[in-house]
Amino acid sequence: MAEKFKLQTVLKYRKILEDQAQQRLSELLAAEVRLQQQIDETRARLGQLGAQLQQKQQAGLTILELRLYEDQIDHYRQQNEHLQIQQKELTQQLNERRQELLIAARERKIIEKLKEKQLAEYLRKMDSRERVMLDEISLRQKGGQR
């Protein structure tokens, strides 16, 4: 029977850390998608307001209507700027989480390689013992045939 891997608990812990890092990265990636949708919606709304304002200006509009459109456009521009700042911060967090996942995966792989080496060494020893036993059996059989 194969020897028990002494670092199995460490390997399980490293796997848990890697899974947690993957989960955090997945959550941030989902947040990135939502944020990009908000940015796209804000830009689309800005485009719509700009087009509406242009149409109204050609048809003639009051100062109050002009002020209303300008206020709405200003609001969406500020919202867009705020979302852009959030996107930059999120990009930085994503980079940090990717790095964290990379390190966690690397650390898990190191322990797995140690486990593989231990198993290979065990198999080599067992193979060597088996050859010695077969040689012994062979020698006994040859010795008994004389």
Map out the domains of the chain with their CATH numbers.
Answer: 8-110 (1.10.287.1490)
Where is pLDDT greater, at 82 or 59?
82
The pLDDT of residue 44: 97
CA angle 133, 136, 137 (to 5 degrees): 90
Mean pLDDT over 28-41 rounds to 97
The pLDDT of residue 146: 53
Nearest to 80 by CA among 33, 29, 46, 30: 46
The pLDDT of residue 3: 73
Where is pLDDT greater, at 141 or 104?
104
Decide: 28 and 93 in contact? Cβ < 8 Å: yes
pLDDT digits (tens, 9 = 90+) for 67-107: 999 999 999 999 999 999 999 999 999 999 999 999 999 99
Side chain identity at residue 18, one-letter code:
E
Mean pLDDT of the chain: 93
CA gyration radius, the chain: 34
